[in-house]
Amino acid sequence: MKLVTAIIKPFKLDEVREALSAIGVQGITVTEVKGFGRQKGHTELYRGAEYVVDFLPKVKVEAAVKSELLEQAIEAIEKSANTGKIGDGKIFVFDLEKVIRIRTGETDAAAL
């Protein structure tokens, strides 16, 4: 099993969710986050004061998938979150040791 974590542009969230559902991913967790990468921040001007805003708002999507679904999931996110412009985000993949469904106690593949 793998945990796929993707940092994407906030307005791409719906497309990413649809693409993941389409390939059979059963659930995802979404968090509003801030960060910086190659896409630089921007400046904000309040009356006389200028602030450089380094951290830009992004959305973090986390999905636990069976290993055989990994490549499809990566492809789905890559395609749906792509705008071709700087700041589209990144995908991180982790090995997933164990999964437990709290309600039933099912584990691993059955819990996904």
Partner 1 sequence: MKKFCAFLALVLSLVFAGATLAQDKPAATPDKPAAAEVKKEEAKPAPSTVNKGDVAWMLTSTALVLMMSVPALALFYGGMVRSKNALSMLMQVFVVFSLVTVLWCVYGYSLAFTEGNAFFGGFDRLFLKGTFDSAKGEFANAATFSKGVVIPELVYVAFQATFAAITCCLILGAIAERAKFSAVLVFITLWFTFSYAPIAHMVWFWMGPDAYTSAKVVDEMNGKAGWLWQMGALDFAGGTVVHINSGIAGLVGAYFIGKRIGYGKEAMPPHNLTLTMIGAALLWTGWFGFNAGSALEANGIAGLAFMNTFLATACAVLSWTLGEAVFKGKPSMLGAASGAVAGLVAITPAAGNVGIPGAFVIGVSAGLVCLWGVSGLKKLLGADDSLDVFGVHAIGGILGALLTGVFNDPSLGGPSFPVDWFVGTAVPAKDYSIAGQLWIQAKAVGVTLVWSGVVAAIAYKLVDLTIGLRVNEEDEREGLDTAAHGEAAYRM
Number of residues that bind partner 1 (CB under 8 A): 9
Site for partner 1 in 16-75 (CB under 8 A): 44-49, 51-53
To partner 1, the closest distance from the beta carbon of 45 in angstroms equals: 5
Dihedral (CA of 25, 16, 63, 75) sign:
positive
> Which of 68, 61, 71, 65 shows the shortest CA–CA distance to 96?
65
To partner 1, the closest distance from the beta carbon of 47 in angstroms equals: 4
Tokens of 9: 């542009």
- Of the pair 42, 101, the CB lying nearest partner 1 is at 42
3-class SS at 68? helix
Task: List residues near partner 1 by CB under 8 A.
Answer: 44-49, 51-53
